[in-house]
Chains A and B, each alone.
Chain A
Amino acid sequence: MNYLLFLPEFLLVILAFVVMSLDLFLKPQSKAISAYVSAAGLLVVMASVLTLRGQETQLYGGLFLVDGYALFFKFFFLALGIFIVLTSADYVKKYLTHPGEYYGIILFSVLGMMVMTAAGELLTAYIGLELLSFSLYVLSSYATDNAKSNEAGTKYILLGALSTALLLYGLSLIYGLVGTTSFEGVASALGAEGGNRLAIIVSLVLVIAGFGIKIAAVPFHMWAPDVYEGSPLPITAYISVASKAAGFALALRIFAAAFLPVVGEWRGILIALSALTMTVGNLVALAQKNIKRLLAYSSIGQSGYLLMGLAAVTADSSNIAANGILLHLAGYGASNLAAFVSIIAYFNLTGKEDISDFAGLAERAPLVALTLSVALFSLAGLPFFAGFTTKFYLFTAAAREGLLWLVTLAVVNSLISLYYYLMVIKQMYINPPAEPSRLRMPYLLNSLLVVLIVIVFIIGIYPAPLVRAIEGATRALFLS
């Protein structure tokens, strides 16, 4: 067996322990170094992922897959980890304690996501999911002296536990039905099985509900706004992208690789869930006053679009729907991250996070205002930015699978979302600032902002390389 295939995971575990124990030896004033150590380490792990490119194999008889799909997402999550770690640097110094554990837990959560995407059977996937979830529970309540953060953590752990329970129950029913947990085995057993549709439907419903909570689909979305609001800002950014991307990465793999034979049973559920999620998310977002809550609801809306893509995955389709999901996840990830990094930059200097506090930001901190506008326009799906291209791709894919009416609803929802994004942009560009002083942004955050803007533009204007990478990734998905 080739242990080199485990290289990224091994390196990441080592890195996490190094960062955590390093903390013990550092003087209080130099503890901030953990962030840079983590970022540098993650870069090394990324490089190790690249060395595995083109591998198409599995370990432990299919427990653990090393294929294009897993590698694509590993790369995605590691890049995300780097951004989160670097964004946290100033924030942690200012608002949080115990930086070593903080970064260590982030690294473990990245590991959890990597395991999730590489899982070839239900239980491995479940273990990865739990590693991610527990890390996030801890991180969301990390501001121990902040009541809201504690509330967020409690709420998250309670609902998260519920979702895990539902998911696990669903998975156990499936195991009971087919007698195996490997995706391939489940697929062939479900394909052959004629009887007991009720049991299949019940277990699918449970699995979907479990995932629904993770990706904040309506009606399982209640935790999202409170957790988003209460968690430390970098963690909110992390949850909004990581939890969603990992949830969809795993869901897509399970539904495409294991449950595809019974697509008729789950397609309708996902369609209904998608319609509900995008509509409720966008409508409720209209009423929000706090920027974190606004983005929470907006990201619920985005889940709705992604669910539409998931519902468009069918047996006879080319991979276009799966491509659409991956592409939109990448676009959404970059845009949402850009939005959050700008909010963090502003919050670090002022401690404010209501939408009305952003008045006149264009004059006080032009780059932050520009990034936030680019991010919001991109989330709204306007051209030049990632959101337009990725949404167009995803919607086209769904339309091709016969979901034109759902696409119509999604397009109308995009219009609604534009309205509330414009309200934020209006504050920044049109309304006069409360205090005219210019804000000085730290060098690191400024460069992160520039990098994110560039990424959002590149995905928007020249997506061909990314799409090629994604096509390679999804090919693995349907072969297995």
Chain B
Amino acid sequence: MVSATAGSICLLLSLYVFINYRYTIGGYQFTDQYPWLKGLGVSWHVGVDGISTPMVLLTGIVMFSGVFISWNINKRTKDFFILLLTLVTGVYGVFVSLDLFFLFFFYELAVLPMYLLIGVWGASSTFPTFARTKEYGALKLTLYLVAGSVLVWVALLAVYVQAGINSFDILELQKLGYPQGFQYLFYLFFMIGFGILAGLWPFHTWSPDGHVAAPTAVSMLHAGVLMKLGAYGIIRVGMGLFPEGAQTWAPALLILGTINVVYGAISAMAQRDLKYVIGYSSVSHMGYVLMGFATLKVVGVNGAVLQMFSHGIMTALFFALVGVVYDRAHVRDIGIFEGIAKRMGTTAAFFTVAGLTSLGLPGLSGFVAELLVFVGTFQTNVFFGILGVIGAALTAVYILRLLSKVFFGPLSPRWEKLTDATKLETFAMGVLVAVLIFVGVYPMPFMRIIDSGVVPLIGRLLTVA
């Protein structure tokens, strides 16, 4: 109950920030600054710009929905919500921090509770040829993410030393220029360090394993929001501090992002477990975000940021739905399900919306975001643009196949007794569905805000070139 209140308050505050953000002015708003450790140049400096505002809103929505979907957690309920709220604190913190120390502080804070959340409340699964215990998933996830933060930490300190102004303030550090070689090396650190969290190929394998082991709400937050931290880190810290580094490594990022898209989609096609399908589809969709960043064009980066938002909502919805199905059926193997839409009407309808968003149907948020990314990519490199579109086509294949197999078609007698989502679950997921449709039909409020944040960023990138 306390968590629900907290969740609602967070959502309302996020909405407040989102609605009151003045895109016409742009820049950082709602800022607050307070020296924390003077000797080290660390200060508590927070604020949001056009890129972080939608992320804050995303966190609020997913968190709100996640609390309601975990209503039926009975084992050590209090501990679960404490850790969940800690996780969300970390996520919010990263999105609003304008100081590298605090950005890193909250970044680590978001990783810390994952181990216990997955290890205690997660589920082990056995497959015909292999088994994945929850301990395995939890440990793999934690070690991958912390390995990423090792790179980030080293790069942070390198920036601090190189700048030599005794400050961790991002805005101060941005004003300085850094030598070329330095930028090349440490942009790579940031790109891979944060990229691990964003599911960058070939460091993505923690993500499906972690998602499969995690309880529903954690998967939602994790795929929906936490992976966005990585992408956000690349754009805010990497591209923000090192324009030249970003340009040098853009082709590499484009290639890796495209691999993410195609490889993720193909892997998703091969999965038989519902959660693995969604897990790999996340890897694939995060690829669009990375591709968008790599275009270094306003339109592409706009699309990428919107994709971060859209994918966050969509994948949270997916995991919530899978959780609902699994709670009732106790299996997730696609082959076993047949025509359960007849018993789970709402769930099937929501799944269809999420699926259609995922494959980019016009009128839903995924379409707008992917279209912008593709436009940007085609302007940069036609070949990768085509590959990206192929990735979208592959998405359509596995999503439609999954829909027709699991939900539609004749009902198998085994599933006669299935019940639909409860009112609470429907409410929690309905919020997400509503957002997906709203953004798809009327993306302007989002685009205006995102644009106000991306334009100056790209502007700085181009002045250097």
- Tell me, yes or no, whether A107 is within 8 Å of chain B by CB: no
Closest CB in chain B relative to A465 CB, distance in Å: 11
Q: Which of the 9-residue segments B33-41, B237-245, B330-338, B400-408 touches chain A?
A: B33-41
Interface size on B, residues (CB 8 A): 30
Within 8 A of B (CB), among A354-406: 377, 382-384, 388, 392-393, 395-396, 399-400, 402, 404
Known: A399-B157, A429-B119. A382 touches B112 (CB 8 A): yes
A393 to B150, CA, bound (A): 15
0/1 interface trace, chain B 101-118, chain A, CB 8 Å (1 if under): 100111011001001100
> Nearest CB to that of A405 among chain B residues?
B154
Partner of B153, one of A318, A384, A411: A411
A384 to B89, CA, bound (A): 11
- Tell me, yes or no, whether B146 is within 8 Å of chain A by CB: yes
Partner of B142, one of A318, A393, A422, A429: A422
A422 near B161: Cβ-Cβ < 8 Å = no
Question: Which of B115, B139, B153, B160 counts the most A-chain CB atoms under 10 A from its CB?
Answer: B153
Partner of A407, one of B109, B119, B120, B157: B157
- Tell me, yes or no, whether A185 is within 8 Å of chain B by CB: no
B157 near A395: Cβ-Cβ < 8 Å = yes
Interface majority SS on A: helix, strand, loop or mixed? Answer: helix
> Nearest CB to that of B108 among chain A residues?
A383
> Nearest CB to that of A384 among chain B residues?
B109
- Tell me, yes or no, whether B135 is within 8 Å of chain A by CB: yes
A412 near B150: Cβ-Cβ < 8 Å = yes
A407 near B154: Cβ-Cβ < 8 Å = yes
- Tell me, yes or no, whether A463 is within 8 Å of chain B by CB: yes
Closest CB in chain B relative to A336 CB, distance in Å: 19
A400 to B108, CA, bound (A): 22
A470 to B298, CA, bound (A): 48
The number of residue pairs between A and B whose CB atoms lie closer than 8 Å in the complex comes to 77
B115 near A422: Cβ-Cβ < 8 Å = yes
Size category, A interface: 20 to 34
> Nearest CB to that of A398 among chain B residues?
B157
> Nearest CB to that of B79 among chain A residues?
A362
Closest CB in chain A relative to B165 CB, distance in Å: 12
Within 8 A of A (CB), among B327-376: none
Interface majority SS on B: helix, strand, loop or mixed? Answer: helix
A318 to B164, CA, bound (A): 13
- Tell me, yes or no, whether A12 is within 8 Å of chain B by CB: no
> Nearest CB to that of A320 among chain B residues?
B39
A425 near B116: Cβ-Cβ < 8 Å = yes
A contact residues around B40 at 8 Å (CB): 320, 393, 396
B contact residues around A430 at 8 Å (CB): 116, 119-120, 134-135
0/1 interface trace, chain A 216-230, chain B, CB 8 Å (1 if under): 000000000000000
Partner of A404, one of B37, B120, B154: B154
Known: A393-B40, A430-B119, A430-B120. A411 touches B139 (CB 8 A): no
- Tell me, yes or no, whether B12 is within 8 Å of chain A by CB: no
- Tell me, yes or no, whether A419 is within 8 Å of chain B by CB: yes
- Tell me, yes or no, whether A267 is within 8 Å of chain B by CB: no
Known: A377-B112, A415-B150, A418-B146. A463 touches B157 (CB 8 A): no
- Tell me, yes or no, whether A243 is within 8 Å of chain B by CB: no
Known: A320-B39, A415-B143. A399 touches B158 (CB 8 A): yes
Q: List 19 A-B contacts (CB under 8 A).
A: A320-B40, A323-B39, A382-B109, A383-B105, A383-B109, A384-B86, A393-B37, A396-B157, A404-B154, A404-B158, A407-B154, A414-B150, A415-B143, A415-B146, A418-B142, A418-B143, A429-B116, A430-B119, A430-B120
Residues of B within 8 A of A (CB): 36-37, 39-40, 86, 101, 104-106, 108-109, 112, 115-116, 119-120, 134-135, 139, 142-143, 146-147, 150, 153-154, 157-158, 160-161
Query: 4 shortest A-B CB distances, which residue pairs?
Result: A399-B157, A430-B119, A383-B105, A383-B109
